[in-house]
Structure 1
Amino acid sequence: MGMSATTEPTELLSPSLLAKLERLELVSRKVFKGRMKGERRSKRKGESVEFADFRNYVPGDDLRLIDWNLYARLDQLFLKLFQEEQDLHIYALIDCSESMNFSEPSKLHVAKQLAAAIGYIGLCRADRVSVQALGSQGRSAPVLRGRGGLWQLLQYVDSIESGDNLSLHDGIKDFSLRNSGTGVVVLISDLMDKDGFDSALRMLIGRRMDVYVMHVLSPEEIDPPLQGDRRLIDSEDGDETEITINAFVLKKYQETLESFIGSIKSFCSRRSISYLPVRTDQGVEDVMTRYLRERGVVR
C-alpha cells in the first residue's frame, strides 16, 4: 500500500516499501572507481574472486595473472580477468526552498520520501550514500554505508525543513565545494527558480556525475483549480501580483508550463541527464517500484 497524504514525517518509508527496496538496485550508466569493495558489479575488470574472461598477455602485464595451465596446453600466454565488485557513491539532493512546501502532501515531503528510498537502495547495496538538503542544512548530512545506516539516514531526512531560499545554482555550488567524490546524483526539485536551472545542472555535469533529475510538481500546479480575482504571492521572495483567472489565463498558464517542462526535457536530453517527472499524488511506492523500473533507473 502506498503512503497516504496523512503520513507523519517520521514515517517516511513504510515497512512494506522497505522490504521491496531491498531487492532493487540503482542503475549507473557510467563506470566509477569505488573506494571500497561493494556488492555492485563493475564493467571494469580487476582483481576479485569471480573469474570473467581471458585476454592475450602483453609486455608489462602483471605476471601473477597469467594462466600457466593454459600456457602449458596452448603454449601461449593469457591473462585471467576477474569481475570486480565495487561500490558507488550515491547522492540524493533535496531542494528545500519555500516553493517546495506547497500542496498536501507537500513537494518537500514527497522529495524527502524519494530521497530516503533512493538512499536505502544504496545502503542495501553497500554503496556510499549521502542524502543532502541543498543549502546550510546539507552541511550536517552524514555519509553512510550499509543497512545499519538507515536510522541515521531517516533521522537526518526527517530534520530537513523548507526555508533555505538560495538559488539552485548556489545550492549545487555549495554541494560541489563540500563533496569531491563522483558517482550518481539524483536532484529532487520543482526547478522553480527565477535564475533558472541551467547553470546548476551544468555544474553537476562538469563533475562528471551520472545525473538524474526528479522534477516534482503537484496536481494543483499542473492543472490549477482557480477562478476569479486572485492575489498571487511568490512564496520565496514575496512578490505580489493581482490577476483575474479565466479560461484564457489558464490556457496561457498551461502553455507556459508546457514550455517550461519542454525546455527542461530538451536540456536534459542533450546532456544525457535522465529527466523524471513526478507528481506528488503519485505515491512513493508506485514511483520507486514501478515508474523508476519502467524508466530503467532501478532494476
Structure 2
Amino acid sequence: MPKSKSHSLLSPDLLGRLERLELVSRKVFRGRMKGERRSKRKGESVEFADFRQYVPGDDLRMIDWNLYARLDQLFLKLFLEEEDLHFFAMIDASDSMNFGDPTKLHVAKQLAAALGYVGMCRADRVTVTALGPEGRRAPVLRGRSNLLKMLDYLDSIEPGHNVSLHDGIKEFSLRTAGTGVAVLISDLMDKAGYESALRMLIGRRMDVFVMHVLSPEELDPPLRGDRKLIDIEDGDEAEITINAYVLEKYRDTVRQFIGSVKQFCSRRSIVYIPVRTDTPVETIVTKYLRERGVVR
C-alpha cells in the first residue's frame, strides 16, 4: 500500500502517540481471548490482586498455605485477569458526510483509524465499519500488524450509502455478535432521526459513545442572498432568501438540535462528543477523547 494512503489518515507522529493510549470501557465485558487489558474481574493471571476467604468448592490450588500456617484460616489468592475488549467504530457514509474541507467523512475515517489502532495495540478485537452495504466487508482485526488492512478498508469507503441510521445500526446488529464499546461517528443528519438507532445499541448492552461531526460551515454558514437549497441525500429543494435574521434563526435551530442530542445521550449514559472538522485529529484524540473518558 502506498505510504500516502496511510499518511492521509494517520501521520507517523500520531501513530507513535496512539501506541501509548488505551481504550476505556465503563462496563465489564467478558472477553473471548486473553488480551493486555486489566479486568475488574478476578482471574488466574500472574499479577496478584487480593485475598478472600475460602468457600467450600473453591479451587484448592489457589489457597495460600503460608497464610494458613500463620493464621490457621484458609484464604484464596486472587489475581487480576487480562482480557480483550471488542471495539466497534461505526461510520456514517451518507452523502451529507461528504461536505466540508476536510470532509466530515474524511475526519470520521481518521477518528475510526486512530481509535482502532489504539485497540489493536492493546490486543483488543477491533471492527471498523461503514453503515450500509460496505459494512458487510468489514474485517475483525487484532494486533497492530493489521493496521494496513484497516486503512485499506477505510480507504475503500465512499460516500453515498444513504441508509438511515436506524437501518444501518439494525443491519450492524444483525451481522455482529457480542457486545463491547461502540462508537458512532456521524453528523446525525437523518430525517428519520437518530434516537431509534442509539436505542438499539443500548439494547445490545453496548458501552455507547457518539462522535457528532459537523463542519464550521454548517455551524455558521457563510451565505447571503437568494439561494436554492437542495438536500444532498433525497433531492428536496427549497428556495430561500438568506439575511441576518434567517442566519440567526438557523444558528438557533442548530444549537437546539445539538442541545437535544446532548440531552438524549446524557439521559441514557451515552457519552456525547462534539467534533468540528477544523480541529486537528491529534487534538481530538489526545485531548478531547481523554477528557471524555474514551481513551487514557
Compute the TM-score of the two structures, normalised by the length of structure 2.
0.97
1:57-112 superposed Cα distances (whole Å, 9 cap, x missing partner): 12222222111111111110111100001110000000000000011110000000
Q: 1:238 & 1:63 partners in 2: Cα distance? A: 70
**1:130 corresponds to which of 123, 127, 134:** 127
Q: Give the aligned partner of residue 54 of structure 1.
A: 51
**Are 1:195 and 2:189 counterparts?**
no
Report the CA distance between 1:9 and its aligned residue.
Answer: 7.5
**Are 1:276 and 2:273 counterparts?**
yes
Unaligned segments of structure 2, at least 5 residues? none
Runs of 4+ aligned structure 1 residues displaced above 4 Å come to 7-10
Question: Is the 2:102–2:277 contact (alpha carbons within 8 Å) kept by the matching residues of 1?
Answer: yes
Equivalent residues in 2 for 1:134-213, closer than 5 Å = 134-213=131-210
Q: Give the aligned partner of residue 223 of structure 1.
A: 220
SS at match of 1:44: strand
1:36-72 superposed Cα distances (whole Å, 9 cap, x missing partner): 1100111111111111100111222222211111111
Q: 1:73 & 1:9 partners in 2: Cα distance? A: 60
**1:255 corresponds to which of 248, 252, 256:** 252
**Are 1:298 and 2:284 counterparts?**
no
Q: 2:226 & 2:41 partners in 1: Cα distance? A: 61
Q: Give the aligned partner of residue 41 of structure 2.
A: 44
Q: Which amino acid aligns with 1:82?
A: F
Q: 2:6 & 2:257 partners in 1: Cα distance? A: 30
Report the CA distance between 1:11 and its aligned residue.
Answer: 2.1
Q: 2:36 & 2:200 partners in 1: Cα distance? A: 29
Identity of paired residues, percent? 76
SS at match of 2:147: helix
Report the CA distance between 1:162 and its aligned residue.
Answer: 0.5
Q: 2:276 & 2:18 partners in 1: Cα distance? A: 20
Q: Which moved more, 1:91-100 or 1:54-63?
A: 54-63
SS at match of 2:235: coil
Compute the TM-score of the two structures, normalised by the length of structure 1.
0.96
Q: 1:295 & 1:203 partners in 2: Cα distance? A: 22
Report the CA distance between 1:10 and its aligned residue.
Answer: 6.1
Report the CA distance between 1:282 and its aligned residue.
Answer: 0.3
SS at match of 1:281: coil
1:99-134 superposed Cα distances (whole Å, 9 cap, x missing partner): 000111100000000000010000000000010000
Report the CA distance between 1:295 and its aligned residue.
Answer: 2.1
Question: Is the 1:9–1:109 contact (alpha carbons within 8 Å) kept by the matching residues of 2?
Answer: no
Q: Which amino acid aligns with 1:149?
A: N
**Are 1:78 and 2:79 counterparts?**
no
Report the CA distance between 1:26 and its aligned residue.
Answer: 1.1
Q: Which amino acid aligns with 2:126?
A: V
1:168-192 superposed Cα distances (whole Å, 9 cap, x missing partner): 0000000000001110011000000
